[in-house]
Amino acid sequence: MLRNLLHSLGFLVNKEKSVFIPTQRIIFLGYLIDSVQFKVFLTEEKIQKILKSANKIYSLYNPVIREVSSLIGLFTSASCAVLLAPIFHRYLDIEKTLALSKNNDNYDGIMSLSENSRNEILWWIKNVDRNEGKSISFGTPTEYIETDASKIGWGAVYGKNKTQGRWMKSESISHINILELLAIKYAFFSLGKNISNSHICIKSDSSTAVQYINNMGGSVVALLEVYHSKNFEQGRRGTGENGFNDSSNMAIPTLVSKIIELFGRLSCYSPFLSRSFKTCTQQSKAPAKHEKVIPSRLCSIRHSLQKKGISKSARNIITQSWRVSTSRQYEYSWRKWYLWCNTQKINTTSPNEVQVLNFLARLYDDGKSYSCINMNKCSIGQTLASIGCNTVINSNLISRFMKGIFNARPPLPKYSITWDVGKVVRYLETLFPLESLSLKMLTLKIATLLALTTAQRAQTLTNLNLNYMETSSKTVVFTMNCLQKTDRIGRINQNITLDTYKKKELCPVYTLKYYLKATKKLRKDDYLLVSFRTWRKISTSTLARWLKIVLTSSGIDVTKFQAHSFRGASTSAAFSAGITLDIIMKTANWKSAKTFKKFYLREVEAKRGVKTGKKKFINAVLSV
């Protein structure tokens, strides 16, 4: 009903990212949301990632700034599920900023960690795996304390109770923002000592004080130290502070608890204030750890293999039989299967074929394509087979069911036509002379020439390594030193060859040599293609983004054609120019001509004329 209502209102429902089976615990945007406890928790994967990074940095006294920045990013991302997350990386963030300034914004510089920063990291190491979660809402405050400060003294009101005090001489010279924060601190110690298990709102006319409590600190060390001070000077009792009570047990969590909204004039409140005052000295007691919602696919396999007596080393090798990308896809499918089994009260690891059929039929009813359903079937089948259950692998009924889906909802090619390579070639020709190009444009040009003249996947192009490169006057040859998507036992490590071209404006060898010369002193990786910002190896998504920039500049509609279309466009252009299938298959690393004809050979949007009879792949592609 809800889906129909949204459709009637003009909204589009993303079925791939939606969960149509009601559940009380779900992973959303990388966090575990529990509608029973009304809390947000960290996932086990994120906890382990934080622990791994924190332990690594904590073991170093002079870490790299980039690694520290990455750790701070992890701490910040955890703030949605860890109430005290913003508190315990303030000094670390300040020291990182100072280190960047000293190193001229070079993230690869070295920085030192103070004792404060190391203590913050240590807190995460000791506490993050407790995973108590963070309430989605704290409700309405029940108690209100108003505070104010001047250069002379401070005052506070709680109901009919009042308190005030004068500053010591050393304090009175402090900035007013520091005094406002101190007023809040002393007011809470004085008037809030008998409040427990309550939601307290502190009202202040200082926007800075409010923001420092709302955000649990900030980047000004002097203000931050107000929160971190645990003891008060012994002479304070003689300065006229009526009713003031100090507490050496009051720790930072008490004063910088998360604030939800502003009340009255500038105000702040937190349900954690009084609770922290009562329990902050008992932090060594670890609460019960929440169970993982969905055990990962590989964990299920390892557990089953362990029960069979298979050694840890053998288990790890078996789980490496799936490529990383395949495991990632299978993991997503396995999670859907696990959730469905929970709702149907089915044993996830020992279903019968009828139960698997019902799950696949549910996907079909949800409008999933044949390839999506087939991927789910393969994920379940291979996982169960590894555990020892061959329900899916040996089921003739499931095979017949998949053939029925193929007939009812046949997979369609992504592209019925392809774009004209000539448009891109003509654009690349304008990017000359190379000396006049920025490093960004030079990088985009060499990346595009590689994609056009090699017809390789983005994965292959990003893995081209300079240590495995051989150059001559007419060619550049790369030997692949890692597994590619199509590599199989007995068929791996095809060489990638770049040939020269008669026009320097389009010659990939000439452009590559100039690119290496221009980036020699900047690059920080041995891979051919590096980012023009960090000068490190790029990901396949980065390369895809670069290629789409060039397509757009060439007048190609990128809403219709993605970066992977380079592979089909260049090979289709070569075929229409008279290049033989053998040369095309060798260049693109295809084993069968059927692969090319079925998935890549398409008609070009704008015909390029008659066949030219070119003998080389590069000549056919770059000849406009």
Per residue in 152-179, pLDDT (tens digit) is 888 988 888 888 888 887 778 888 888 8
Structurally, what CATH architecture does the domain formed by 417-622 represent?
Orthogonal Bundle (1.10)
Tell me what the mean pLDDT of segment 179-193 comes to: 81
What tokens were used for 141? 């405050």
Angle among Cα 15, 18, 21 to the nearest 5 degrees reads 110
Q: What is the pLDDT of residue 415?
A: 67
CA distance 550 to 253: 51
DSSP 562: -
305 or 488, which is more confident: 305
Residue 189 token pair: 């110690």
Mean pLDDT across 66-80: 89
Q: What is the pLDDT of residue 511?
A: 95
The pLDDT of 248-252, averaged and rounded, is 29
Q: What is the pLDDT of residues 417-459, one digit of tens each?
A: 888 999 999 999 999 999 999 999 999 999 999 999 998 889 8
SS3 at position 154: strand
Domain boundaries, the chain: 25-135, 143-281, 303-408, 417-622
User: In whole angstroms, what is the distance from residue 156 CA to residue 164 CA?
Assistant: 6
Average pLDDT, the chain: 79
**The pLDDT value given to residue 233:** 31
pLDDT tens digit sequence for 130-156: 777 888 877 778 888 888 888 888 898
Residue 235 has pLDDT above 90, yes or no: no
- Pairwise CA distance, residues 444 & 409, whole Å: 39
Could you give the CA distance from residue 483 to residue 487 in angstroms, rounded to a whole number?
Answer: 6
At 163, give phi and psi (nearest 5°). -150, 155
Rounded to an integer, the average pLDDT of 307-336 is 88
How far apart (Å, rounded) are the C-alpha atoms in residues 404 and 370? 10
Determine the pLDDT at residue 400: 93
**1 confidence band (pLDDT: 50, 70, 90):** confident
Q: Which residues contact 282 (CB under 8 A, 6 or more apart)?
A: none
> Region 395-417: what's the mean pLDDT?
87
pLDDT for position 60: 85
What confidence score (pLDDT) does residue 603 get?
Answer: 60
What is the SS3 assignment for 388? coil
User: Given a cut of 90, is residue 250 above it in pLDDT?
Assistant: no
Length of the chain: 624
Cβ–Cβ contacts within 10 Å for residue 112, how many?
A: 11
Mean per-residue pLDDT, 62-90: 87
Give the model's confidence band at 241: pLDDT under 50 very low, under 70 low, under 90 confident, else very high. very low
Distance CA 259, CA 620 (A): 65
Contacts of 18 (CB under 8 A, 6+ apart): none
- Residue 624: pLDDT band (50, 70, 90) is low
In angstroms, the CA 280 to CA 131 distance is 16
CA distances from 97 to 66, 121, 218 (A): 11, 17, 13
Reference 539, options 458, 455, 443, 442; nearest CA is 458
The separation between CA 119 and the C-alpha centre of its own chain, rounded to angstroms, equals 26
Angle between helix 297-307 and 312-319 (nearest 10): 140
Q: Name the band, by pLDDT with cuts 50, 70 and 90, for residue 558.
A: confident
Contact 114, 271 (CB under 8 A): no
pTM: 0.50
Q: How far apart are CA 162 and CA 141, in angstroms?
A: 20
| Amino acid at position 135, single letter | S
Q: pLDDT at position 569, please?
A: 87
Report phi then psi at 240, rounded to 5: 90, 25
Helix (H, G, I), strand (E, B) or coil at 27: strand
The 10s digit of each residue's pLDDT in 494-535 is 789 999 999 999 999 999 999 999 999 999 999 999 999 889
Tokens 């960004």 map to which residue? 440
| pLDDT in the model for residue 290 | 39
Sequence letter at residue 160: K
Give the per-residue pLDDT at 94.
87
Q: Residue 585: which pLDDT band, with cuts at 50, 70 and 90?
A: confident
Question: Which whole number is the average pLDDT over 66-92?
Answer: 86
DSSP states of 39-99 as a string? EEEE-HHHHHHHHHHHHHHHT-SS-BHHHHHHHHHHHHHGGGT-TTTTGGGHHHHHHHHHH
CB atoms within 10 A of CB 101: 9
Q: Where are the alpha helices (DSSP H) in 280-369?
A: 297-307, 312-319, 324-344, 353-365
pLDDT, residue 491, reads 63
How far, in Å, CA of 538 to CA of 462, rounded?
6
pLDDT reading at 284 higher than 60? no
Give kind and range of the element (H or E) at residue 183: helix 176-191
pLDDT at res. 221? 56
> What integer is the mean pLDDT of 79-100?
85
> Which helix or strand (DSSP H or E) is residue 417 part of?
strand 417-418
Reference 198, options 253, 255, 245, 141; nearest CA is 141
Instruction: Please tell me the distance from the alpha carbon of residue 550 to that of residue 556, in angstroms, as a whole number.
Output: 9
Q: How many beta carbons lie within 10 A of that of residue 155, not counting itself?
A: 17
Neighbours of 346 (CB within 10 A): 18
Of 544 and 324, the structure prediction assigns the larger pLDDT to: 544
For 222-278, strand residue ranges (E) read 267-270
Please say whether the beta carbons of 275 and 258 come within 8 A: no
Question: Residue 223: its pLDDT value, please?
Answer: 53
Q: How confident is the model at residue 116 (pLDDT cuts 50, 70, 90)?
A: confident
pLDDT at position 423 is 93
CA-CA distance, 391 to 378, in Å (whole number)? 12
Structure tokens at 525: 């990786």
Residue 499, SS3?
strand
Stretch 368-393: mean pLDDT: 88
- Count the neighbouring beta carbons within 10 Å of the beta carbon of residue 21: 12
Q: Looking at residue 375, what is its pLDDT?
A: 92
Q: Are strands 417-418 and 161-166 parallel, antiparallel or unpaired?
A: unpaired
31: which residues sit within 8 A by CB, 6+ positions away?
40, 41, 42, 43, 46, 80, 81
- What amino acid is encoded at 216 in this protein? M
CA distance 461 to 447: 8
Separation CA 172–CA 150 (nearest Å): 9
Spatial CA neighbour of 415 closest among 555, 547, 569, 542? 569
- Whole-number pLDDT of residue 198: 74
Across residues 471-476, what is the average pLDDT? 90
26-30 mean pLDDT: 81
Given a cut of 50, is residue 310 above it in pLDDT? yes
Give the residue, 96 or 236, on which the prediction is more confident. 96
User: Apex CA 275: angle with CA 115 and CA 192, to 5°?
Assistant: 100
More confident position, 104 or 464: 464
At 127, the pLDDT band (50, 70, 90 cuts) reads confident
The pLDDT score that the predictor gives to residue 225 is 57
Residue 283 above 80 pLDDT? no
Phi then psi dihedrals of residue 146, to 5 deg: -105, 135
pLDDT at 465 over 90: yes
Report the range out of 17-21, 207-211, 393-397 with the highest average pLDDT. 393-397
pLDDT at 500: 93
Mean pLDDT of the region 266-295: 39
More confident residue, 37 or 52: 52
CATH of domain 303-408: 1.10.150.130
CA 621 to chain centre: 37
Is residue 46 within 8 A of residue 78, CB to CB? The reply is: yes
Structure token digits, residue 376 = 């789910």
Percent of the chain with pLDDT over 70: 82
End-to-end CA distance of the chain: 56
Residue 368 sits at φ, ψ, to 5 deg, of -70, 150
Short-list 389, 396, 392, 349, CA closest to 374: 392
